[in-house]
Amino acid sequence: MSLAALFAALGVLGIVGYLAVFIALHVLPTGYHAVHHAVSDYAIGAYGTLFRRGLYLSSIGLLLLTIGLCLNPGAPPLQVSDLVFLFLVPFMRVGMALFPTNLEAEKVSLRGLAHFAFAVAAFAFTYSAISGLTSTLSNLPPWNAVSGLLSVLHEIALISLILVVITLIPRLRKVFGLFERIFLVSTNVWFVVGGVCLINAKL
């Protein structure tokens, strides 16, 4: 196994671990609704520690996957900007974990504003990286074998991100959580698929 494939394998494990925590938080009696509440709300309450561990898992996993992509194929053919965006996402997620959100009924605090800023940056960097990488990797083996899946996940991420922004409007906030979850699942599945391809790439 090449060094790039090793980093990719460890990265995929981290991201899959995050998805397992993500699913668990929707099964456990957290008191939050999957449609109405933001995912970050899980940081407040009895399962806050589990939520933060999930974020740390995803951060480490994505950082390792990014390192794997930098090792090979790297840039070129990958755009340096796409790798930079991907590299920044884990640090934004750590910021989200360190600065918990404010719940709907709470007065907005500096902590909550910091969380919002990290979340906006994480979502923007995540989509920017996936958008660039989808067009590039889809032309390279073995990613070209799953180019259709990567493109569909990219489109789902785009549509859900637009809807996340729209549902920030107070009157639509009651469905914000649904589209946020669609964005998070589609992008993390994209990372898993991309990582598995890197593991199997002939480097």
Q: How confident is the model at residue 107 (pLDDT cuts 50, 70, 90)?
A: confident
3 state DSSP class of 100: coil
Mean pLDDT of 117-133: 98
Q: How confident is the model at residue 76 (pLDDT cuts 50, 70, 90)?
A: low
Q: What is the pLDDT of residue 74?
A: 59
- pTM score over 0.85: yes
Angle (CA) 200-195-28 rounded to 5° is 130
- Which string of b and e fits 162-193 if b means at least 16 CB within 10 Å? ebbeebeeeeeeeebbbbbbbbbbbbbbbbbb
CA atoms of 81 and 142, how far apart (whole Å): 22
